[in-house]
Every structure is written in structure tokens, then in C-alpha cells.
């Protein structure tokens, strides 16, 4: 069960949509909802003191950044009251958002964030927050895609992107509360005959594992897939799924920059909510 849900109270578009999903999940599971906001001051400290040896010490006013973060928490509080969230709190961190969320994720069951390339306001360099959290958080990350209007609480029809990896297995475990109440679950195995980790019947072992939990599943295998993320997103969308569960995979930053990666592609392409775990 999800009993503590963490959400970044950011200043970007789609905040209210993400909060509605987080609030609905908190009410459904009887969970405590935490909204956190960060000033970003710590990152600027690194820059200021890093150049201090070369130039006179810079004087930077962090107060506007702190006030902006605290204003977001006031909005979070107001929305939670309006939505009738039974148990919630706000937390302000005078640090980088990624650092604050990774620390707090140690004590939660699920993180809810947006899809965009988010960064703290006023920072000189940007952190791709959803991708960073997917790779470094010890808890599953629920990513709500950008868009206008309300979004339904995901998890009624779920597609699992399965490649028999530890990351995918952890994603399935992290999604178990959602899988247990899903009306339809599809296991999608792409290029099942590449490698030997699937066994003689790709997807069969995972299907039996889920059946023991009382979760009926369908197994679909697809060969000769060249763009895994694109195929997974399109087939999930066409099947009416409202959630994709997948493992998050990392490579060197240089390799990601030159070639891209499945996780990055999922985050940028998916119009369906994602649950990722590394």
C-alpha cells in the first residue's frame, strides 16, 4: 500500500493536475500526502563560492527564491483543503529540489512529478528532475504527462514494459498497489528472443507471479522492435491503457547525449502516465 506520497510543489504548468492525481491516490489508499518545495539556494552557493577565488565574493539575494517556494506551498495547502485531503503537510527545503526530494523519498512509498524538463527557478544550470529522480530515488516515480484539463487517476488499465531486468522487476513491485486494483493488465515483451533472461516462454514467469497475487494478465510479445520507447508508448495508448510500468535504465551522460535512451524517450514521448523504478 501507498501510505506516504511525496509531491514536488513546483511552479510549472500542470501542477494542479498532478496534485489532483496525488490527492486522489492519497484518499484512495488512506495515505499521508507531503508537498515539498525547494529554494535552490544550495546550488547557487556552489557557484558563488566556486568563483570566489577568482573574483570578489558575489552577494546574491536568495530571499525571492525562498518566497517563491513558500508561495507554492501555500497554494499546495489551499488546493489540498479544497480537494478534501484528510492527511497532508508541506515542507520547505533551502536546497536544490533534486536533493530535497531524494532525501525525503527515503521515507515515502511513491513520488509524483511532472513530465517536463523541470528546474528550480533562477538556477544557472538545469536538472532534468523526472529523469534524475527515476534514476536515483529508492522509491517508484509516478510521472503525470503534460497537458490541459483534468487527468484520471491512473491504474485501471496498465501496460508493463517487461524485459526481465532487475529494474523492471522493481517497477512491478513498486506498482503492486495499483496492479492489485487494475481492471486490465498487459505484459508487453519487446524483442523477447534477444538474450536468454526471458526463458522458454517470455513473460510467462511474470504472469504466473502476478496471478498468485490475484492479478489476471495478458502477455503480448513483439519482435523486431527498433524503438522500444516509441513502440511501448504507442501500443499502450492504442490499447486504452492509462499507465505504463517500466524500469528506468541509465548510461553515461555522454552516451545519453549522443544516442539518447529508453528512459529519456519514455519521459519525452509518453502521453500516458508512467511508473518508473531503477
Cell 492489485 belongs to residue: 180
Query: Residues 8, 127: one domain?
Result: yes
**pLDDT tens readout for residues 151-207:** 789 999 999 999 999 999 999 999 999 999 999 999 999 888 776 688 788 999 999
Whole-number pLDDT of residue 123: 41
Instruction: Say yes or no: 174 and 136 in one domain.
Output: no
Same domain, 67 and 27: yes
Same domain membership, residue 12 and residue 140: yes
Q: What is the pTM of this model?
A: 0.87
Structurally, the chain folds into a number of domains equal to: 2
- Domain match, 139 and 60 both: yes
* Residue 182 and residue 111 share a domain: no
**pLDDT of 96 strictly over 70:** yes
Give domain status of residue 150, yes or no. Answer: no
- Pair (163, 258) in one structural domain: yes
For residues 15 and 83, state if they share a domain: yes
Flag whether pLDDT at 224 surpasses 80. yes
CATH number at 245 reads 3.40.50.620
User: Do 245 and 138 share a structural domain?
Assistant: no
∠ CA 168-232-176, rounded to 5°: 40
The larger pLDDT score, comparing residue 179 to residue 268, is at 179
By three-state DSSP, how is residue 247 classified? strand
- Considering the domain architecture, whether residues 116 and 186 belong to the same structural domain is answered as no
**One domain, residues 136 and 106:** yes
Task: Assess whether 206 and 117 both reside in one domain.
Answer: no
* Residue 47 belongs to a domain: yes
Select from 144, 165, 188 the last residue of a domain: 144
Which pLDDT does position 162 carry in this prediction?
94
Flag whether 149 is in a domain: no
104, 131, 261, 264 from 119: Cα distances, Å: 18, 12, 20, 16
* Per-residue pLDDT reduced to its tens digit, 131-152: 889 989 999 999 999 877 777 8
Residue 213, pLDDT > 70, answer yes
Domain of residue 236, residue span = 157-277
The dihedral formed by the CA atoms of 88, 22, 158 and 227, expressed in degrees to the nearest 10: -130
CA distances from 216 to 182, 208, 220 (A): 9, 9, 14
Amino acid at each position: 500500500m501507498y501510505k506516504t506520497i511525496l509531491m514536488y510543489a513546483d511552479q510549472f504548468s500542470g501542477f494542479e493536475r498532478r496534485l489532483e492525481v496525488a490527492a486522489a491516490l492519497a484518499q484512495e489508499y488512506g495515505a499521508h500526502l507531503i508537498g515539498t518545495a525547494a529554494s535552490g539556494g544550495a546550488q547557487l552557493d556552489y557557484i558563488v563560492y566556486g568563483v570566489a577565488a577568482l573574483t570578489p565574493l558575489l552577494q546574491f539575494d536568495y530571499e525571492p527564491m525562498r518566497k517563491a517556494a513558500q508561495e507554492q506551498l501555500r497554494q499546495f495547502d489551499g488546493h489540498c483543503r479544497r480537494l478534501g485531503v484528510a492527511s497532508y503537510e508541506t515542507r520547505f527545503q533551502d536546497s536544490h529540489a533534486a536533493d530535497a526530494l531524494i532525501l525525503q523519498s527515503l521515507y515515502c512509498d511513491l513520488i509524483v512529478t511532472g513530465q517536463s524538463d523541470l528546474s528550480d527557478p533562477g538556477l544557472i544550470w538545469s536538472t532534468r528532475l523526472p529523469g534524475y529522480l527515476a534514476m536515483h530515488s529508492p522509491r517508484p516515480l509516478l510521472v503525470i504527462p503534460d497537458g490541459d484539463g483534468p487527468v484520471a487517476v491512473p491504474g485501471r488499465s496498465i501496460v508493463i514494459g517487461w524485459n526481465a531486468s532487475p529494474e523492471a522487476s522493481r517497477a512491478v513491485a513498486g506498482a503492486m498497489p495499483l496492479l492489485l486494483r487494475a481492471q486490465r493488465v498487459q505484459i508487453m515483451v519487446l524483442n523477447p528472443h534477444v538474450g536468454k533472461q526471458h526463458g522458454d516462454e517470455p513473460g510467462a514467469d511474470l504472469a504466473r507471479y502476478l496471478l498468485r497475487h490475484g492479478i489476471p494478465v495478458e502477455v503480448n510479445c513483439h519482435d523486431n522492435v527498433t524503438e522500444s520507447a516509441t513502440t511501448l508508448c504507442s501500443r499502450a495508448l492504442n490499447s486504452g491503457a492509462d499507465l505504463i510500468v517500466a524500469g528506468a535504465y541509465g548510461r553515461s551522460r555522454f552516451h545519453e547525449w549522443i544516442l539518447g535512451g529508453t528512459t529519456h524517450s519514455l519521459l519525452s514521448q509518453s502521453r500516458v502516465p508512467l511508473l518508473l523504478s531503477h
